[in-house]
Structure 1
Amino acid sequence: MIRVAILISGSGSNMLRLVEDMTGDHPARPVLVASNEPAAGGLAKAAALGIATLAVDHRDFPRDRPGFEAALLRPLLDTRPDIICLAGFMRILTPGFVDRFAGRMLNIHPSLLPKYPGLDTHARAIAAGDTEAGATVHLVTSELDSGPILGQARVPVLKDDTPQSLAARVLTQEHRLYPAVLRRFSAGDKTPVMLGSEGLVRGS
């Protein structure tokens, strides 16, 4: 069995979709949901599903990112994860942490990378006049939002879109993309998963 730990900071909607998919013939199972926010709604959802949870408050480590990561790493390693999935985890990780899980840490980002790494992706896509936006699942490297792409989902940008309306439409596709990528990746296949605006898998 492939062991998956999921890191979140909020409600955990992508985490839930990953967990819901890791059943039956899926090669992986969730072993931990961890957060830097003790009040993150996703922790209660994971616990209700019988998944071990962990909270390490980053505010307990002011200006000490290595200290925060050390406190997170010890119990994380105790679960012996094969894959780490960042699912709305809103902390930038140091190269030392990332390198420990090189080639087996995944992240989902709400843009069609390499466009718009970082924050405010939907507003930036609208301001640029893009006709398409979307989400990307990629391997995490020490350079922000720049690792090899494992999957993308596309949605049209509509004339009357706001950042909020576009974000909601992208999130719907995120919930389909991330589980599809993890299922494939867990089976040892790094071929990118591509979801089109019409919602059908392309090139797979």
Structure 2
Amino acid sequence: MTASCNVVVLISGSGSNLQALIDSQAEDNPARIRAVISNRADAFGLTRAQDAGIPTAVLDHKAFDGRDSFDAALMEVIDEHAPDLVILAGFMRILTPGFVRHYQGRLLNIHPSLLPKYKGLDTHRRALEAGDSEHGCSVHFVTEELDGGPVAIQAALAVEPGENIEQLTQRVHAAEHQIYPLAMRWFAEGRLRLAEQGAMLDDVNLPASGYQIRI
């Protein structure tokens, strides 16, 4: 059995991806969420964590005089839990380069598009307006480039004829809940890592689109 992998999850909202990560912590999974931290006291994800017996903390970014001081305080709180992995699960803050460097190789994010397509916001609307035949989500290592780090895993799904933005959003969310726990587990098992040449799974270089799953 692999030694446990300490995970800290950062959230800002309802925490549906957090719930999927919590639910995936079976006995044979070395990943263990040690803390959930939010920049919003009203984030429902904090309740999800508390219901699962996971320690929580709130750090209100508005109480700090800038991004650097907030990120410095956030790193202190995170590092109290000796994390092997830090997971961004709907954490709606742009991170400073110093923060990203501090956790280089152990910082994951999920993005609702097939990266490198549609970095940033409004990804579902942009995919529909472009008439894309497929859409999906990507788990990637975080680098200083926004939504630009090496992709670990993607879930791709066919866009249905006449599908609206709410329907597509819901289906992509469901896909996120499949691939984020998988990426967390792979990392915890030592299978997924970030190397100089990019993301690697089982010591094999992954393509730019990561490991592909079709849903």
Alignment identity in percent? 48
SS in 2 for 1:106: strand
Determine the C-alpha separation between the residues in 1 that align with 2:134 and 2:98: 35
Match of 1:3, as an amino acid?
Answer: N
Q: What residue is the counterpart of 1:54 in the other structure? A: 57
Match of 1:27, as an amino acid?
Answer: P
Q: What residue is the counterpart of 2:170 in the other structure? A: 168
User: Which of 2, 13, 22 lines up with 2:16 in the alignment?
Assistant: 13
User: Which of 128, 131, 140 lines up with 1:129 in the alignment?
Assistant: 131
Q: Which structure 1 residue ranges, 5 or more long, are not aligned?
A: 198-204
Q: What residue is the counterpart of 2:119 in the other structure? A: 117
Match of 2:27, as an amino acid?
Answer: G
Matched, 1:26 2:55: no
Determine the C-alpha separation between the residues in 1 that align with 2:38 and 2:163: 31
Tell me, yes or no, if the aligned pair for 1:23 and 1:29 is still in contact at 8 Å.
no
Determine the C-alpha separation between the residues in 2 that align with 1:153 and 1:31: 27
Q: How many residues align?
A: 196
Tell me, yes or no, if the aligned pair for 1:2 and 1:186 is still in contact at 8 Å.
yes
Q: Which structure 2 residue ranges, 5 or more long, are not aligned?
A: 193-200, 202-209
SS in 1 for 2:149: coil
Match of 2:25, as an amino acid?
Answer: M
Report the alpha carbon displacement of residue 158 of structure 1 after superposing the two structures with TM: 1.8
Report the alpha carbon displacement of residue 82 of structure 1 after superposing the two structures with TM: 0.6
Q: Which runs of 4+ in 1 moved over 3 A?
A: none
1:28-72 deviation digits (Å, cap 9, x = unpaired): 10101001111100001101111010111112225x001111221
Report the alpha carbon displacement of residue 75 of structure 1 after superposing the two structures with TM: 1.5
Query: What TM-score, normalized by structure 2, do the two folds share?
Result: 0.88
Aligned pairs for 1:53-202 within 5 A: 53-61=56-64, 64-190=66-192, 191=201, 192-197=210-215
Match of 1:85, as an amino acid?
Answer: I
Determine the C-alpha separation between the residues in 1 that align with 2:170 and 2:136: 11
Match of 2:110, as an amino acid?
Answer: I
Determine the C-alpha separation between the residues in 2 that align with 1:161 and 1:36: 34
Determine the C-alpha separation between the residues in 2 that align with 1:95 and 1:70: 11
Report the alpha carbon displacement of residue 194 of structure 1 after superposing the two structures with TM: 2.4
Query: Could you tell which deviates more after superposition, 162-171 or 107-116?
Result: 162-171
Tell me, yes or no, if the aligned pair for 1:137 and 1:152 is still in contact at 8 Å.
yes
Report the alpha carbon displacement of residue 23 of structure 1 after superposing the two structures with TM: 2.2
Tell me, yes or no, if the aligned pair for 1:3 and 1:30 is still in contact at 8 Å.
yes
SS in 2 for 1:96: helix
1:53-110 deviation digits (Å, cap 9, x = unpaired): 0111112225x00111122121111111110010111111011000000001000000
Query: What TM-score, normalized by structure 1, do the two folds share?
Result: 0.93
Q: What residue is the counterpart of 1:200 in the other structure? A: none
Query: Could you tell which deviates more after superposition, 121-130 or 188-197?
Result: 188-197
CA RMSD of aligned residues (A): 1.1
Tell me, yes or no, if the aligned pair for 1:117 and 1:144 is still in contact at 8 Å.
yes
Determine the C-alpha separation between the residues in 2 that align with 1:182 and 1:73: 20
